[in-house]
């Protein structure tokens, strides 16, 4: 029986599309499957070019990259298995937060009697998730920047398998932390912007500590390359 591991894949960017060539002894058996995966990828809208890489959205690795090939592999294996495989690991690494936003989607999961996972436990979760096929690892909370090991956890994500993303309320996006994110290898982040008006933001966040969020998040010196977005509320 031909094995998936016995084939190779080459990808080339052609404008806003990718072209793929499959090779290896059983290549002819996988050509139709590869074509279907490539067509699905090319149906996505390209939102940015990073050199010769195509960025489609923040929930898929760019193509062609090693993490993008891992996503390609997962999609092919899912089709062969006849069922979906996990694509995204969303890890709430802490429930601590300096804000009490009225719209917080994490509040319902708060367990004051529980404990947070240790650094080593979270690293194990990240490794297991990417081994299962996840190609995006999201660090969220609470406010993930309240954990001292956030940058260590981001750096632990194997870039051959996945890209790391962070969700933040923006209150701690200092120039130093922006630089630390980049040094750790963060691929993208979502920043909560509840209102362009400081008074409305304070009322929404329920804490004066967050009253400067709109200005702090976007006046930090963004001298490093990121993809960023604003999560729906």
Domains annotated for the chain, with CATH where assigned, are 4-81 (no CATH), 88-229 (3.20.20.70)
Residue 19 is classified by DSSP as E
> Tell me, what's the pLDDT at 47?
93
pLDDT of residue 86: 93
Q: Report pLDDT digits (tens) over 94-122.
A: 998 888 787 787 777 777 777 899 999 99
**If pLDDT is split at 50, 70 and 90, which confidence band does 180 have?**
very high
Question: Between β-strands 53-55 and 48-50, what pairing exists: parallel, antiparallel or unpaired?
Answer: antiparallel
Q: Report pLDDT for 232.
A: 46
Instruction: Give the pLDDT score at 233.
Output: 42
Strands 8-14 and 17-23 turn out to be antiparallel
Averaged pLDDT for residues 26-39: 84
Six-digit token string for 190: 């979502």
How many angstroms separate the CA atoms of 56 and 142, rounded? 27
* pLDDT for the residue numbered 119: 97
pLDDT at 163: 96
Q: What is the mean pLDDT of the chain?
A: 83
Q: What's the rounded mean pLDDT across residues 188-215?
A: 65
Cα separation of the two ends of the chain: 49
How far is Cα 177 from Cα 154, in angstroms, rounded to an integer? 13
């Amino acid at each position: 029986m031909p094995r998936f591991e016995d084939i190779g894949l080459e990808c080339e960017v052609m404008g806003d599309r990718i072209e793929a060539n499959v090779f290896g002894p059983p290549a002819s058996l996988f050509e139709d499957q590869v074509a279907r995966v490539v067509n699905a990828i090319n149906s996505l809208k390209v939102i940015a070019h990073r050199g010769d890489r195509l960025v489609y959205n923040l929930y898929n690795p760019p193509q062609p990259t090693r993490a993008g090939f891992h996503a390609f592999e997962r999609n092919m294996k899912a089709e062969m298995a006849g069922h979906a495989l996990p694509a995204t690991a969303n890890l709430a690494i802490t429930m601590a937060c300096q804000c009490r936003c009225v719209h917080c989607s994490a509040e319902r999961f708060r367990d004051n009697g529980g404990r947070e996972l240790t650094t080593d436990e979270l690293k194990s979760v990240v490794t297991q998730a990417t081994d299962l096929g996840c190609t995006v690892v999201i660090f969220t909370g609470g406010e993930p920047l309240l954990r001292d090991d956030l940058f260590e956890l981001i750096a632990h994500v194997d870039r051959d398998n996945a890209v790391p993303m962070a969700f933040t309320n923006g209150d701690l996006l200092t120039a130093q932390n922006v630089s630390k994110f980049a040094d750790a290898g963060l691929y993208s982040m979502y920043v909560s912007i509840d209102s362009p008006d400081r008074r409305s933001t304070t009322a929404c966040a329920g804490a004066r500590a967050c009253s400067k969020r709109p200005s702090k998040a976007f006046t930090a010196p963004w001298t490093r390359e990121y993809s960023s977005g604003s999560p729906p509320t």
